[in-house]
Structure 1
Amino acid sequence: MDARTEAILSELGGTLGKIDEEQAAAFAQMVYEAPRVFLAGCGRSGLMVRAFAMRCMHMGKTVYVLGDVTTPSIRKGDLLVVASGSGETESLVSHVKKAKKFGAKVATVTIYPKAAIGSMSDCAVWINAPTSKSEEDTGVTSVQPMGSLFEQSLLLFLDTTIVRMMELSGKSSEEMFENHANLE
């Protein structure tokens, strides 16, 4: 295996190994129990969120990605999941404030759980990964550019959340495949 790949895998293992088990379990439980799940993230974090949306749909969840034209209004009892490395992205902060105003719960995955979004969230999962936009030192360095370590860790964490939800529901991969796109 290439040394660069080994370094990246080592970073991912170290970063994912630091995620708090109770936070991860609470996050999965919130997504599992929510009647409707709304997902938000910007840039590459937004791409990871879209992958999670697809898997949630495969699980049979009613799920929407903010910004899509078919996304309805959020309401009391719904869950807004926000992925934001900085926890301070203005548009996402605004979404969280509105969701809370309408009685929705909020869960976030972030590098900075004490930032604006994490402070307003009902559940905040901390991923200890550096980014070039970090204003404070996380104590972690990466061979990868910019926010890659956070974004990759986010995707793997969200996929692990799906596995947790499969365990909660008793759903198999085969059952989930019944919801896979068939107009391809």
Structure 2
Amino acid sequence: MQTTTYAKEILDELSHTIEVMDDTGIEKLANAIQRVNKIFVAGSGRSGLMAKAFAMRMMHVGLDPYVVGETITPSLEADDILIISSGSGETKSLLSMAEKAKKMGATLALVTTNPSSSIAKLADITVEIPAQAKAEGTSGKSVQPMGSLFEQAMLLLYDSLILRVMNQKGLDSNKMYDRHANLE
């Protein structure tokens, strides 16, 4: 099979996944990220990379995001939000963060394939991406390995949230570029 054929299969899967997502949690998350003080993101592995990409774009639109675990990340407070990216919703380190955020009174959001997970049970906002988790690699939900479909759909979701914020704030790429790194 040619590489472009695989790419078309991936695009078809992404399109279907986005079409069947429920907007309820997405709308709650879109509203929450604009009303809280600081925004914290966390995730492990490739899910964590998608969360970092989201944090970068939130900074570009003028929000106040932080990546949990970075040396310059401040403390979480009650008027903040923690957004966890976790396919399984069961990653122990992320569950521990979720429990701590709830004890501190912060808003907790989860982007996941598993809306009945331990983290989802704690979350104020859950966004389900109906894709295969990495442990379901042979389930037939995706032609892609492990959690690739989830991670790709998550990046599209996060970029869509950024477009919404841009629209609401009247921003375009030129205005955002002023916040782009300039010491490169």
Normalising by the smaller structure, the TM-score range is: over 0.9
**TM-score, normalised with respect to structure 1:** 0.94
Q: Residue 110 of structure 2 aligns to which amino acid in structure 1?
A: T
Residue in structure 1 matched with residue 171 of structure 2 by the alignment: 171
Residue in structure 1 matched with residue 130 of structure 2 by the alignment: 128
Q: Is residue 2:98 matched to residue 1:96?
A: yes
Matches within 5 A, 1:26-105: 26-105=28-107
CA-based RMSD of the aligned residues comes to 1.5
- Cα 1:132/1:50, change in 2 over 3 Å: closer
SS at match of 2:53: helix
Q: Residue 111 of structure 1 aligns to which amino acid in structure 2?
A: T
SS at match of 1:85: coil
1:25 Cα deviation after fit = 1.5
> In structure 1, what is the Cα distance between the partners aligned to 2:173 and 2:120?
32
**TM-score, normalised with respect to structure 2:** 0.94
How high is the sequence identity, in percent, across the aligned residues? 45
CA contact 1:29–1:165 (8 Å) conserved in 2: no
* Equivalent residue for 1:20, pick from 16, 19, 22: 22
> In structure 1, what is the Cα distance between the partners aligned to 2:101 and 2:6?
41
Residue in structure 2 matched with residue 143 of structure 1 by the alignment: 143
> In structure 1, what is the Cα distance between the partners aligned to 2:36 and 2:136?
32
CA contact 1:107–1:123 (8 Å) conserved in 2: yes
Q: Residue 38 of structure 2 aligns to which amino acid in structure 1?
A: R
Q: Deviations over 1:77-135 (max 9, x none)?
A: 10000000000100000001101111110111100111111111111000000124149
Higher mean Cα deviation, 166-175 or 91-100?
166-175
CA contact 1:86–1:134 (8 Å) conserved in 2: no
SS at match of 1:26: helix
SS at match of 1:141: coil
CA contact 2:40–2:65 (8 Å) conserved in 1: yes
Moved over 6 A (4+): none
Q: Deviations over 1:132-161 (max 9, x none)?
A: 4149x7xx6111111100000111110001
5+ long unaligned stretches in structure 1:
none
CA contact 2:87–2:134 (8 Å) conserved in 1: no
1:64 Cα deviation after fit = 0.7
5+ long unaligned stretches in structure 2:
none
Aligned residues: 181
* Equivalent residue for 1:115, pick from 104, 114, 117: 117
